Amino acid sequence: MLPKAFQCFLEQRPICVMAQAVLENFFQPQHLDALFERAAQRQYTRTLLFSALIDLMFAVVLCIEPSVYAAYRLRKKCLRVSDQAVYDKLDGMELGVSAALVEDSAQRAAAVIDALGARRKPWLRGYRVRILDGNHLSGTEHRLQELRTTWAAALPGKVLDVIDPETGLSTQVFLTPDGHAQERSLLDEVLAKIDKRDLWIADRNFCTLKFLFGIAAAEAFFLIRQHGTLQGRLRGRRRLVGLGPSGKVYEQAVELTYEGVTRTLRRITVELTQPGDADAGVRDRHAGLSEGGVAGLLPGAGGGQRGGRDQGRPAGRAWGRGGRRAVRLLPGFGDRADVRRHDGGLAAAALGAVPRHGAGVVRGGVEGDRGARRVVSLPQEQARPEKAAAQARPLSEWRPCLDS
């Protein structure tokens, strides 16, 4: 399928070739422009195509170009628009378009992973597990005149990310341009995407009565760390249900009432065998631990015949021992000062999820070929193509190309 000149790269640097091919497929101009036409509500296309803007932003997000303007200068003749037109397009980027870009690439990546037979084993059979967490974008640089006399920095916004642990893909993102907004303000949008037999895993910040009862109303399930402000009515005695990897697991019924509706849930408590293993500050922040090394978990109503130990296992994978997050959510792509200073910073953050989807496809190709289910680290040469090229072909063969 590839020209003969690529054979040396396929033999010596196959991961690099796979990654390049996958990303080029994700960013096909015709597909991106069609996606924009379907998802855009207010924006329109005149001279600057959506695919051209994504190509420019992608170079900045992956640190190939140091800034939006530097990327624009290299593409000025092809774009045929002014730099102000590019900035205006970024400033007006609709949140729905950014979210659609992530969802579309995740669907395409998942189809390839399934075709390769590289989907990981389900965390809990019979349920579609989803991990929900937020990403707080850091403050921008003080380039605007209004910000030069204050220590405060403008916040680009916040992102909620939904992860499928079987593929490792960001299946959906929920965006808000209000950097001071609570992550909970986006939960109504999340509830609209919940399907029957889902199992949602989230940290204590998402433990609200409205969210819990909304998941139950959708005939779905949840495994969410208990927030300190959410107090129910305990029923019966706490009983030991098993021994988990971190300690003893207990279960107790708890009643919660919201808008006149009362539900009986199961409150799972894990008494850590060695609560001093993790740093206390990290433990308190992520695991929601109380004194004595006790972590409160609220599994959703129903739960079938599974005991508390089985229900707690998926949460243990999402958060490691002591509360350290074991599943990486939104990658660091897009956390660039130059793109974050525009309203298009949220678009850059969403765009950063696409390379991760590409890495997931590459990982699936390696795992499917080797029959293994393990994380494959991409070689550093992927970020340094000139080194990979020099190793794949003698420098003397590249000299004529370089000289020309």
Tens of pLDDT along the chain (404 residues)? 555 555 666 677 777 777 878 888 888 999 999 999 999 988 888 888 999 999 998 888 887 888 888 889 999 888 889 999 998 888 888 999 999 999 999 999 999 999 888 888 898 888 999 999 887 776 555 556 666 666 666 667 788 999 999 999 999 999 988 877 888 999 999 999 999 999 999 988 999 999 999 999 999 999 998 888 888 898 999 999 888 777 888 888 889 999 999 998 888 888 877 655 444 333 332 333 222 344 555 555 444 334 444 545 665 565 554 444 434 343 333 344 444 444 467 888 888 888 889 888 888 877 765 444 444 444 444 444 444 444 444 445 444 443 43
Of the candidates 281, 351, 331, the residue with the CA atom closest to the CA atom of residue 50: 351
Pairing of strands 128-136, 198-202: parallel
Amino acid letter for position 47: T
At 348 the pLDDT is: 82
Helix extents (H) in 2-94: 7-12, 14-26, 29-39, 50-61, 68-74, 76-79, 83-91
At 328 the pLDDT is: 39
Query: 3-class SS at 41?
Result: coil
Joined together, the tokens standing for residue 329 give 């959510």
Joined together, the tokens standing for residue 299 give 């599994």
Of the candidates 48, 98, 94, 93, the residue with the CA atom closest to the CA atom of residue 75: 48
At 209 the pLDDT is: 92
Measured CA to CA, the distance from residue 132 to residue 163 in angstroms comes to 7
At 146 the pLDDT is: 62
Measured CA to CA, the distance from residue 320 to residue 326 in angstroms comes to 5
At 44 the pLDDT is: 85
Dihedrals phi, psi of 40, to nearest 5 degrees: -70, 135
Measured CA to CA, the distance from residue 329 to residue 130 in angstroms comes to 12
pTM for this entry: 0.76
At 237 the pLDDT is: 92
